[in-house]
Structures are given as structure tokens and as C-alpha cells.
Amino acid sequence: MGKIIAITNQKGGVGKTTTAVNLAACLNYHGKKVLLCDFDPQGNATSSLGVTLGKHDLTSYEALIGTQRTELTIKHTRHGDIMPCGMDLAGAEPELANMQNREYKLREALEQIRDKYDYILIDCPPTLGLLTINAAAAADSVLIPIQCEFLALEGVAQLIKVFKAVKANMNPKLEIEGVVLTMYDSRTNLSSQVAEEVKRYFGAKVYHTMIPRTVRLAEAPSFGKPVIEYDKYSRGAECYLSLAEELLSRNEK
Ligand SMILES: Nc1ncnc2c1ncn2[C@@H]1O[C@H](COP(=O)(O)OP(=O)(O)O)[C@@H](O)[C@H]1O
Ligand SMILES: [Mg+2]
């Protein structure tokens, strides 16, 4: 049974998609069977892996709503499988609102294919709405990227509140997988202050690997490649490989 990890933070631009795409590619590189589930209507994870959608391509929207079998929505790439996403997912929330078990639709969709993977990573949208609730209700754990910037922890209390509510009411096994500091800049005091503050809050949940701010990581998506393909020997590639190793060693000891 694959472990389902929701990569979530309701703040936009903190590195969720960058982490989802590169962690998926690095877990795949380490020999794991990985599915990246793009669950943000922006579809950035989809395009970051070089997948472009035609009119008839099925996406996470159909899997979620349940009009198609989940496996029909999945595409294979050289960095693992992806369930792509397009703008139609943006219209899913009002549709879900009238459905029974509306919080469990993604869980039902992923149950169908779960045994084919070691890890399923969900790239969440920057909200705490019904899509993110579906992701948390489907997941075994949440991985929280936090950007090393002023007010980094702002909003985290609210995120944890939602996490606790989902755990209490829908998904008692939900855990915090880990917290990854992103866009770390070793030249600034601010980055190290934020890192200290986040470690005080989350303790041992914070990964030793911090993701630096690097041009390569920002460039790679426009070439439709994860950084381990775009520039294998870059620091960004090295750090996401090491983050994947940390995640594996926490899970496979
Ligand atoms: N470590 C990094 N170094 C440089 N740029 C980054 C890094 N991580 C993310 N970015 C860039 O910052 C922007 C926001 O990142 P993204 O992963 O899309 O965040 P989110 O999914 O949380 O909105 C994107 O343009 C991305 O390329
Ligand atoms: Mg994103």
C-alpha cells in the first residue's frame, strides 16, 4: 500500500509545487514507484513535468468527481506517474458541496490505484477549502513547506487547526510527515532566524535538509523538467535528493 503524502500550506508561493515535483522525481530516482497527484487547478505540477493537456485528456477532476476510473487519468513520465490537473478542478468545489461523502472523494479515487505505488504525493492548492480537506482526508501524512521569509509562520496556526480538525473528525491516522524549509538564503540572518523559529515550533519534524533559493530550481519548470534532469549536479538537485533520502529513512527504518 502506497503512502499518501499531502504537500500543503495555504500560503501561495512557498514551494509546494517545486517540492512536490522534485521530491517525486527524486523518490523515483531512488527506485520508488511514485504517483504525483496534481490537485491545484493552476496545474503547475503538470506543466513542471512537461505534460501538456489536450481537450480530451482526463485529469484529477474526473478522478475526484468519480466520473472516470482513476487509472484512466494517470500519465507516465520518465520521472514517475502523474495525475495531471487543469482548470476544471477549480469548478469542483461547488459540485462537491452537494455530494455525499464530499470530503472523501479523493480518498475513494486514490484507493483504486494505491497498491500500485510506494508513494503518492498530492500537490495541494493554496487554500484550506474543500480540495485541501479532500487531500488531508485521503492522506497518511502532510508535508509542510515553509518559506524562509518574514512572517514565515503566519498562517501556520490556522493550517495546524485544520490538520487537527481533519484528524479528529475524518482521518484519525493523519500525521505530520515533516516540515521543509524552502528558499533558504545562507547569506541572510533572516533565513537562519526563520529556521530557528520553525524548529522551535515543529521540533524534530523539521528536515535537516533545507532547500536553498537557487536559479536552477526556478528555471527547471519552464523546461518541463525536474531539477535532477535539468541540471543534475546543481545544488537544488543535490538538496532534493537528500530530502528524498531523509524522507525514506524516516519511513523505512
Ligand atoms: N528553492 C527555490 N529557489 C528558487 N526559486 C524557487 C524555489 N522554490 C520555488 N521557487 C519558485 O518560487 C515560485 C513559487 O514556488 P511554487 O513551488 O510554485 O510555490 P507554491 O506551489 O507553494 O505556490 C515559483 O516560481 C518557483 O519556481
Ligand atoms: Mg503550487
111 vs 94: CA distance, rounded Å: 23
| Distance between CA atoms of residues 3 and 186, nearest Å | 33
pLDDT tens by residue, 188-243: 999 999 999 999 999 999 999 999 999 999 999 999 999 999 999 999 999 999 99
| DSSP-assigned beta bridge partners for residue 3 | 119
Neighbours of ion ligand 2 (CB under 5 A): 16-17, 44
In this structure, the residue with its CA closest to atom 8 of ligand 1 is 15
Supply the pLDDT for residue 151.
87
**CB-based contacts of 98, cutoff 8 Å, min separation 6:** none
Domain of residue 240 covers 3-251
If phi > 0 it is left, if psi is from -120 to 50 it is alpha, else beta; for residue 150 that is beta
Q: What is the number of structural domains in the chain?
A: 1
The amino acid present at 172, given as its one-letter code, is P
Distance 9 CA to ligand 2 centre (A): 10
| pLDDT at residue 86 in the model | 93
> What is residue 187's three-state secondary structure?
coil
CA distance 84 to 52: 9
* Ligand 1 centroid distance, CA of 16 (Å): 7
Check which CATH number belongs to the domain holding 126 and give it. 3.40.50.300
pLDDT tens string 91-106: 999 999 899 999 999 9
| Half-sphere CA count of 239, side-chain side, radius 13 A | 20
Give the residues of the chain that fall short of pLDDT 70: none
- Give the H or E element holding residue 35: strand 34-38
Core vs surface per residue 44-72: b (16+ CB within 10 A) or e:
bbbbbbbbebeeeebbbbbbbbeeeebee
What is the pTM for the complete model shown?
0.98
Which residues lie with the beta carbon below 6 Å from any ligand 1 atom?
A: 12-18, 44, 126, 182-183, 211, 213-214, 217-218, 221
